[in-house]
């Protein structure tokens, strides 16, 4: 059964009074004269009792809320008195703590039973006692100051060590920065040297290619000469040696490599010359023949190799040292030379209009083979003998023609793939403006107005006509430019050369544009053909 609020209030109040009685006894009664450590223990108990009394005050505040209003006033007065007494004893406990702390700081006499009750730390002792106590206090202060000074010195020493360590680290960082700066300068110098070497190597690329072609062409020509002499003297077959398609195709390849090497050595990359290399001033028929020759020498060696090792090779192919050397040089290395021309040079994709030319050459050779049989009574290739092969002869002839078409297509698109992967070809194909390709011999250079870049001139003479009309808009052109009314590369280059020879201050905008135009014409033409 619950107790009424008034009864609970009285119970809590009785407990509160018991706690106050214990606190008063420790502060004002027996606990007042206790020695130092016991006094400290008593004060700790007083603090605990004060906390409990404070909890009881909280409970009294709660219980007073449930007391009827008619009698609440007298309980409120009693609660206020309890709070006042608790506050007074808290203040007394705080003063006792202060006195105890002062006593510990100033070093009170151990012989005294209690604590001083005034601000005089020496109580009622004699002057000598007071002087001794003051001296002891000063000594304690001196020792404490000495300890503080020692700690400060140690701290200063540690701080100095830290500063020295930081200074050493800073020097290391500065040295590392200087080293990196020196390395950066060295890297810049090395990069500049490497770029210079790359530029020099790019300038010498035509010469390197010319040397490669000269070596390959010399080996091919030497092979043919030695084979002709050896077979004429040893085998007595000199009368039919020129009737072998192997020898004819290898002769065409060696001649192409040698002539291309000559053009490479004559190439002049600087605009000091009107022409870059001799092919630019060849006659149109020679240029067209050059393009047809490129198509032949890049496809016939592959056809010869495939035909020989599938139809002609036998057990006698490697029967002697000469036969082995001849088989390798004529029927393997010929393909190697052709593939090097396809992959390591800048020849553009083969034009479709030269495919019939290659087939006509094969047909013409077929007639040569039968003329040789009529004059020398021998078939240079046994698979051409109709008495032995019968109906297979038609299959062989048709198969070789079909093989040439397939090889032509593969070579063309191999060059297209090389162009896309390595970017090593001209900026246009033969498919656009094929008639100008044959007329100009494949010399592709100049400004491509459609693509806004330097590209093919063989896509139509209207590009050069645009240049001529652009020049005629100005009245200050030199005489060389006035006669440049036809799409003639030599006249255009001469005009540009005269412009470059003038002082810069006297050049009009048209002159500067034409100089840039012609410079591209001169310097980019070689990349197409090599």
Nearest to 490 by CA among 304, 276, 333, 342: 276
Residue identified by tokens 């040698």 is 258
Three-class SS state of 1 = coil
φ, ψ at 400 (rounded to 5°):
-65, -40
- Left (φ > 0), alpha (ψ -120 to 50) or beta: where does 267 sit? beta
- DSSP class of 448: E
CA dihedral 47, 50, 56, 58 (to 10 degrees): -90
Report the alpha-carbon distance of residue 530 to residue 161 in Å, rounded.
Answer: 73
Distances (CA, A) of 164 to 159, 172, 178, 290: 9, 12, 21, 81
Please say if the pLDDT value at position 431 is more than 80. no
Report the alpha-carbon distance of residue 115 to residue 104 in Å, rounded.
Answer: 10
With 0.75 as the threshold, say if the pTM is over it: no
Nearest to 112 by CA among 130, 96, 98, 95: 130
Name which residue leads in pLDDT, 6 or 492: 6
- Left (φ > 0), alpha (ψ -120 to 50) or beta: where does 118 sit? beta
Look at residue 41 in the predicted model and tell me its pLDDT.
Answer: 81
Nearest to 78 by CA among 14, 141, 30: 14
Please say if the pLDDT value at position 458 is more than 70. no
φ, ψ at 448 (rounded to 5°):
-95, 100
Please say if the pLDDT value at position 521 is more than 50. no
Please say if the pLDDT value at position 436 is more than 70. no
**What's the pLDDT band for 277 if we cut at 50, 70, 90?**
low
E strands, 340-463, are 447-448, 453-454
List the domain boundaries for the chain.
Answer: 5-106, 206-443, 444-530
Three-class SS state of 454 = strand
In sequence order, the β-bridge partners of residue 448 are 453
Return the minimum-mean-pLDDT range out of 185-199, 216-230, 434-448.
Answer: 434-448
pLDDT tens digits for range 41-64: 888 888 888 888 888 888 888 888
Look at residue 489 in the predicted model and tell me its pLDDT.
Answer: 44
Looking at every residue in the chain, the average pLDDT score rounds to 75
pLDDT tens digits for range 106-151: 655 444 444 444 445 555 457 788 888 888 889 988 999 999 999 9
Average of per-residue pLDDT across 161-177: 93
Nearest to 100 by CA among 49, 29, 44: 44
Residue identified by tokens 């200087």 is 178
Residues contacting residue 34 through CB under 8 Å, at least 6 positions apart: 42, 114
Please say if the pLDDT value at position 26 is more than 70. yes
Report the alpha-carbon distance of residue 221 to residue 214 in Å, rounded.
Answer: 10
Look at residue 17 in the predicted model and tell me its pLDDT.
Answer: 84
Look at residue 512 in the predicted model and tell me its pLDDT.
Answer: 41
5-106: CATH architecture:
Up-down Bundle (1.20)
């Amino acid at each position: 059964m619950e107790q009424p609020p008034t009864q609970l209030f009285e119970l809590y109040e009785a407990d509160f009074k018991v706690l106050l009685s214990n606190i008063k006894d420790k502060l004002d009664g027996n606990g007042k004269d206790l020695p130092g450590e016991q006094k400290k223990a008593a004060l700790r108990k007083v603090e605990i009792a004060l906390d409990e009394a404070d909890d009881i005050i909280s409970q009294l505040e709660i219980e007073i809320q449930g007391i009827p209003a008619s009698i609440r006033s007298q309980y409120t007065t009693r609660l206020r008195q309890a709070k006042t007494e608790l506050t007074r004893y808290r203040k007394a406990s705080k003063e006792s703590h202060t006195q105890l702390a002062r006593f510990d700081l100033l070093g009170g006499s151990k012989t005294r039973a209690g604590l001083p009750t005034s601000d005089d730390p020496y109580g009622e002792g004699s002057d000598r006692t007071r002087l001794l106590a003051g001296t002891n206090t000063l000594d304690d202060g001196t020792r404490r100051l000495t300890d503080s000074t020692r700690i400060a010195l140690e701290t200063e020493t540690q701080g100095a060590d830290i500063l020295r360590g930081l200074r050493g680290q800073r020097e290391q960082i500065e040295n590392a920065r200087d080293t990196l700066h020196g390395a950066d300068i060295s890297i810049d110098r090395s990069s500049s040297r490497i770029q210079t070497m790359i530029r020099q190597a790019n300038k010498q690329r035509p010469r390197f290619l010319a040397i490669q072609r000269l070596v390959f062409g010399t080996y091919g020509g030497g092979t043919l000469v030695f084979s002709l002499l050896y077979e004429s003297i040893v085998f007595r077959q000199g009368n039919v040696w020129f009737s072998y398609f192997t020898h004819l195709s290898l002769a065409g390849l060696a001649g192409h490599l040698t002539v291309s090497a000559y053009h490479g050595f004559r190439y002049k990359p600087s605009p000091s010359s009107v022409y870059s290399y001799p092919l630019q001033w060849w006659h149109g028929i020679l240029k067209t023949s050059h393009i047809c020759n490129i198509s032949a020498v890049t496809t016939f060696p592959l056809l010869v190799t495939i035909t020989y090792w599938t139809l002609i090779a036998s057990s006698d192919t490697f029967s002697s040292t000469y036969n082995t050397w001849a088989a390798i040089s004529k029927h393997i290395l010929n393909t190697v030379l052709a593939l090097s021309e396809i992959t390591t040079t800048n020849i553009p994709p083969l034009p479709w209009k030269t495919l019939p030319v290659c087939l006509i050459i094969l047909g013409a050779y077929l007639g040569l083979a039968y003329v040789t049989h009529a004059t020398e009574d021998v078939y240079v290739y046994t698979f051409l003998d109709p008495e032995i092969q019968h109906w297979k002869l038609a299959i062989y002839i048709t198969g070789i023609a079909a093989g040439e078409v397939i090889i032509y297509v593969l070579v063309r698109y191999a060059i297209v793939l090389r162009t896309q992967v390595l970017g090593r070809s001209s900026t246009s194909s033969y498919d656009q403006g094929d008639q100008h390709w044959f007329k100009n011999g494949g010399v592709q250079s100049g400004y491509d107005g459609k693509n806004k870049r330097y590209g093919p001139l063989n896509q139509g003479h209207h590009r050069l006509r645009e240049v001529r009309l652009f020049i005629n808009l100005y009245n200050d052109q030199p005489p060389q430019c006035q006669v440049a009314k036809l799409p003639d590369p030599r006249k255009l280059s001469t005009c540009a050369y005269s412009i470059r020879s003038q002082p810069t201050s006297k050049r009009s905008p048209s002159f500067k544009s034409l100089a840039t135009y012609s410079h591209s014409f001169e310097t980019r033409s070689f990349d197409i053909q090599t």
